[in-house]
Amino acid sequence: MCGIVGCVGRDDAQDVIIKGLKSLEYRGYDSAGIAMHNGDYINRTRAKGKLMNLEQKLAKDPLIGKNGIGHTRWATHGPPSEKNAHPHSIGGVSIVHNGIIENYLELRDQLKSMGLDIYSDTDSELIAHLVNIEVKKTGELASAVKNVIPQLEGAFAVLVLSEKHPDEMIAFTNGPPLLVGFAEESFIIASDLLAIMPYTNKVTYLSEGEIIYINKTNYKFFNNDLKEIQKNIETVDWSDELVEKSGYSHFMLKEIFEQPRSMAKSLEPYIDVDNHSITMPELEKHADFFKSVEQVYIIACGTSFYSGMVGEYLIEKIAGVSCKVDIASEFRYREPKLIKNSLVILISQSGETADTLAALRLAKEQGVKTMTLCNVQHSSMDRESDIQTYMNAGVEIGVASTKAFICSLSVLNVFSGFLAKVKGNFEKSEEEKLVKALLATPSHMESVLTYDKFFADAAERLKSYKGFLYMGRGVHFPIALEGALKLKELAYMHAEGYAAGEMKHGPLALIDEQMAVVMLAPQDDLYEKTISNLETAKARGGQVISIGTIQDKKLKELSINFLSLPEVDWNINPFLAVIPLQLLSFHVANALGHDVDQPRNLAKSVTVE
Ligand code: AGP
């Protein structure tokens, strides 16, 4: 889950790499480095900490050259430090690596027994040793890489520069994302489209086991056996403004405010506005299959898992089909027995989360149809699943997921309606009601965003609580979990999400005057029960912040702060209820002086176990 960028054939290669790394910083940000070939030698600069530290070094002492590689790191093997930062340079070879080499201990012993010195604590340095040995043997970069790949076990995307081969660069992947941008007489290779977007929209995604070899302006794709293969160059559609902060202080804040628009966009491909009907043409191709589905499994991690939990309510209540939700890292190791005629839905913003990808592969091994709900098109999951749906949230940069969550909820709503329809469980009037409710949601979301000011003002007070308990019932239980996750990851405060009915079975003991209790209590069929849970928490001294439906006098009386939401259907409530929780986490973290867009110890896509 590091970010890698390579550039071949540009006078401004150093800038291209640094700008690319900036856009990939969400993938890791504990150290960074760059190596450039100046025609004679490879020079390298590395720095611990954020990319800014590397930039400062380069401002004093820029690197020269048209070809180079760069890396922004999320530490797996060895702590963040300059010596562990990439590129790793051994002999005349420099490499950057994203992924994990699982057999690194054996390789390390093997290299040590050959009398070689190992300079860092990383698994990645070993790749540089192996390539260096092979370059010396074969004299060729491509043959060297061909001989190294079979020695590596695990997940790896690697870029290689060689001093003896000034015009060449080679890149290969065994899983982690890697794509090549074809600009005018130059190439940019990166872990994500974001690093390539400013220069070209002509790209090729490398698949597992593929290599690209570049020599000046020529390039060739190979498989692992160095047999040449043909790959298509795609033209992708984007707009630069997607990756700018557009006047907001943080990407996260921008993404929170973008949510009404993103939600509307996520619906566009799946709704016929004129007829108020659901249209999922790609899914309709599999109509017979969906008709026969008896069981749905939803598998995901983190925030995507919580949207899956909401999905469970939607699929069971709207489509009337049994649904189970699993955390991907648990699913893959518990020898799941998937029943025939079932559908496995994998939810992932990045489409690269290692555990979710492994769960997808496991489901396929068991012969069960898989459907992805990803944000990043062409991601590994998107490519490997049988059926694809998309969040259409646009690029999400903040490590804390916000708009992708909202867009997952909207696609899950539509999908539940689609499933109900193919199964003949949905009256036209019900379909119209669902579609109209979804279409009206963005404007309700706009009105909830006005709580931004409330949380900006309240943050100083809120940050002094010793902890936060988030409670909700039904579809608001996953929202409570999501609220707690956001606060943990951004404010580094103790926060827990609970099904409100479970309070009396233990968590009540946590409550005193130092504990904030965030109660989600919109007026749905569980409202009265939620209010009883709220009274219990208040009686123990809990400082209640409640989020409920407009003009709820009772809730207002019971709370130190009451935030009202527009009155909407039960399935729309989660879209609205999550927004105050996102704003709360953002402002508390900001008041605590934390880096909201890049919280400590985390990275946006978790491509390691
Ligand atoms: C949420 O704010 C996270 N940073 C994290 O939990 C994330 O949702 C999780 O890692 C799953 O990512 P994915 O959706 O890209 O698979």
Using one digit for the tens of pLDDT, what is the confidence trace for 455-488?
Answer: 999 999 999 999 999 999 999 999 999 999 999 9
Question: Does the C-beta of 177 come closer than 6 Å to ligand 1?
Answer: no
* Same domain assignment for residues 356 and 494: no
Indicate if the pLDDT at residue 65 is higher than 60.
yes
| Total domains present in the chain | 3
199 plus 63 within the same structural domain: yes
CA dihedral 284→289→294→300, nearest 10 degrees, is -70
Q: What is the mean pLDDT of residues 178-197?
A: 94
b/e map of 356-390 (b: 16 or more CB within 10 Å)?
Answer: bbbbbebbeeeebbbbbbbbbeebbbbbbbbbbbb
How far does the centroid of ligand 1 lie from the alpha carbon of residue 301, in Å? Answer: 6
Average pLDDT rounded to a whole number, residues 141-149: 96
pLDDT per residue as tens digits for the range 30-55: 899 999 999 999 999 999 998 999 99
Pocket of ligand 1 contains residue 605 by CB under 6 Å:
yes
pLDDT (average), residues 341-348:
97
Asked if pLDDT for residue 387 goes beyond 70, the answer is yes
437 belongs to a structural domain: no
Report d(CA 444, CA 214) in Å as an integer.
52
Contact 83, 150 (CB under 8 A): no
Answer yes or no: is pLDDT of 502 > 90: no
Q: What is the mean pLDDT of residues 83-101?
A: 95
Q: Which of 252, 301, 374 to mutate to test the pocket of ligand 1 (most atoms within 8 A of CB)?
A: 301
Ligand 1 pocket residue status of 127, Cβ below 6 Å = no
Q: Are residues 455 and 414 in the same domain?
A: no
* Candidate from 372, 606, 608 with most ligand 1 atoms within 8 A of CB, to mutate: 606
- Per-residue confidence at 239, pLDDT binned at 50, 70, 90? low
**Is 516:462 a contact under the CB 8 Å cutoff?**
yes
Q: Is residue 98 part of a domain?
A: yes
432 in a structural domain: no
The answer as to whether 609 is a domain residue is no
Ligand 1 atom at minimum distance from 404 CA: 14
Q: 325 pLDDT band (50/70/90 cuts)?
A: very high
Position 526 scores a pLDDT of 80
Residue nearest to atom 2 of ligand 1 (CA): 400
Same domain, residue pair 371 and 517: no
* Ligand 1 touching residue 401 (CB < 6 A): yes
**442 falls within a domain:** no
Indicate whether 478 belongs to any domain. yes
pLDDT at 242: 61
Q: Tell whether 297 and 415 lie within a shared domain.
A: yes
Q: How confident is the model at residue 536 (pLDDT cuts 50, 70, 90)?
A: confident
Gap from CA of 353 to ligand 1 centroid (Å)? 8
Q: What is the mean pLDDT of residues 53-62?
A: 97
600 domain-assigned: no
Residue count (the chain)? 609
Structural domain containing residue 498: 450-591
Q: For ligand 1, say whether the CB of 85 is within 6 Å of any of its atoms.
A: no
Report percent pLDDT > 90 for the chain: 76
Ligand 1 geometric centre to CA of 380 (Å): 15
State pLDDT tens for residues 267-277. Answer: 999 999 989 99
Q: 561 pairs with which residues across the strands?
A: 545
Which atom number of ligand 1 is nearest to the Cα of residue 356?
16
293 CA to centre of ligand 1 in angstroms:
28
Ligand 1 centroid, distance to 302 Cα (angstroms): 5
Residues 341 and 329 in one domain: yes
Candidates 254, 175, 183; CA nearest to 210 is 175
Give 481 Cα–ligand 1 centroid separation in angstroms: 13
What pLDDT does residue 483 have? 98
DSSP 323: E
Residue of minimum CA distance from atom 7 in ligand 1: 302
DSSP 8-state class, residue 318: I
**Are 50 and 100 spatial neighbours (Cβ–Cβ below 8 Å)?**
no
pLDDT at 24 over 70: yes
Confidence (pTM): 0.80
- Dihedral sign for Cα 377, 381, 382, 388, please: negative
At 298 the pLDDT is 98
pLDDT average, residue stretch 391-402:
92
Mean pLDDT to the nearest integer, 193-198: 90
- Write the residue with the smallest CA distance to atom 4 of ligand 1: 400
Q: What is the mean pLDDT of residues 238-260?
A: 80
Give distance in angstroms: CA of 374 to centre of ligand 1: 11
Same domain, 17 and 153: yes
Return the residue whose CA atom lies nearest to atom 5 of ligand 1: 302
Higher pLDDT, 271 or 543: 271
Same domain flag for 118 and 262: no
Residue 216 is a catalytic residue: no
Across residues 188-203, what is the average pLDDT?
Answer: 93
Strands 67-73, 3-8: pairing is: antiparallel
What separation in Å is there between the alpha carbon of 326 and the centre of ligand 1?
Answer: 14
Same domain? 538 vs 559: yes
78 CA from centroid of ligand 1 (Å)? 24
CATH number, residue 14: 3.60.20.10
Rounded distance between C-alpha atoms, residue 589 and residue 488, angstroms: 9
Atom of ligand 1 nearest to the CA of 353: 16
Residue 606 has pLDDT above 80, yes or no: no
**CB within 8 A of 22, min separation 6: which ones?**
51
510 versus 132: the higher-pLDDT residue is 132
- Name the residue at shortest CA distance from atom 6 of ligand 1: 302
The reply to whether ligand 1 has any atom less than 6 angstroms from the CB of 23 is no
Amino acid making up residue 556: K
Instruction: Catalogue the E-assigned strands of 432-494.
Output: 467-472
Domain membership of residue 443 (yes or no) is no
326 and 271 share a domain? yes
Q: Which atom of ligand 1 is nearest to the CA of 402?
A: 2
* Span from the CA of 405 to the centroid of ligand 1 (angstroms): 9
Q: Which residues of 101-134 are buried (b: 16+ CB within 10 A; e: fewer)?
A: beebeebbeebeeeebeeebebbbbbbbbbbbbb
Measure the CA–CA gap between 404 and 39, rounded to whole angstroms.
44
Residues 310 and 413 grouped into a single domain: yes
* Whole-number percent of the chain with pLDDT over 70: 98
Pair (223, 271) in one structural domain: no
Whether pLDDT at 240 is above 60: no
| Dihedral of alpha carbons 582, 584, 587, 593, sign | negative
Looking from the CA of 524 toward its CB, the CA atoms found within 13 Å total: 21
Average pLDDT over residues 536-560: 87
Helix extents (H) in 268-346: 281-284, 287-292, 302-314, 328-331
Q: Would the pLDDT of 118 be above 70? A: yes
pLDDT of residue 467: 93
Task: Check pocket membership of 100 for ligand 1, CB cut-off 6 A.
Answer: no
Strand partners, 93: 90, 162
- Candidates 299, 353, 595, 607: which one to mutate for ligand 1, based on the most atoms within 8 Å of Cβ? 353
Residue 288: CB atoms within 10 A of its CB come to 8
Of 19, 369, 538, 604, the catalytic one is: 604
The two tokens of residue 140 are 């060729």
Domain of residue 317, CATH code = 3.40.50.10490
Q: What is the pLDDT of residues 355-373, one digit of tens each?
A: 999 999 999 999 999 999 9
Q: Which long-range contacts (CB under 8 A, 24 or more apart) does 356-361 make?
A: 356/299, 356/300, 356/301, 356/304, 356/328, 356/381, 357/381, 357/384, 358/328, 358/332, 358/609, 359/299, 359/326, 359/328, 359/331, 359/332, 360/299, 360/384, 360/385
Ligand 1 near 372 CB (within 6 A): no
Q: 585 CB less than 6 Å from ligand 1?
A: no
Averaged pLDDT, 530-536: 84
Ligand 1 within 6 A of CB of 162: no
Which residues, listed in sequence order, are joined to residue 370 by a DSSP beta bridge? 344
Q: What is the mean pLDDT of the chain?
A: 93
Contact 69 CB / ligand 1 (< 6 Å) = no
| Closest among 316, 368, 326 to 347, alpha carbons compared | 326
374 as an active site residue: the answer is no
